[in-house]
Amino acid sequence: MRQAVRAYPGDVFPTAIDEDENSEFYQQKRASFYRETTNTPCLRRIPELSKLIDSVVASWYLEPSSISSREWHRIPFHHPLGLAVFNPQTKQLESDLQFVTGRNLSVRGISFTHSDHIYTREVAVTFDLDQPVKDFLIVRLAWSRFSEKRTFQSGGQFLYQIQIDTEQQIPAG
């Protein structure tokens, strides 16, 4: 349960965390970020996501049990992505790359908008649109909905990262 708090002119609030004074805090955050992205190292190249290392998130919940279960917060990520149907048995793409638009991103998952319905639970997403050999993140989709703007919105959790030469790959079917 959230509660509004009234601030008065004489109230004292904590000062900002200074990295020079709290270098151990930021070193621990960086180590945690690298640990969390062990299976998905291509996420380390995304500047918006890397900014999470140096940020501090405040939460206004009164009870610790009410705190969000997300270990890392989502950030807006409105960039083009490549998406393809992925076959986990063959570890191959089963469709041509289609372009979708990112919505939100965290070290654990992603959400995006797309024009066509996706008929599978596992997809491959890439940020490397201009590279012949691409790092793909395999995503298990958890939700999908049709938005008011007549597009689909979907999201899911990152499972692992693979590398595929898209110029060599010939989609099945």
Class of domain 75-165: mainly beta
Give the start-to-end residue ranges of the domains of the chain.
Answer: 23-60, 75-165
CB atoms within 10 A of CB 77: 19
HEC secondary structure over 118-156: CCCCEEEEECCCCCCEEEEEEEEEEEEEECCCCCEEEEE
What are residue 82's DSSP bridge partners?
A: 99, 126
Q: What percent of the chain stands above pLDDT 70? A: 70
pTM of the model: 0.73
Q: Is the pLDDT of residue 69 over 50?
A: no
pLDDT in tens, 4-50: 556 666 666 555 555 556 677 777 778 888 888 889 999 988 888 77
Residue whose token pair is 């999908």:
144
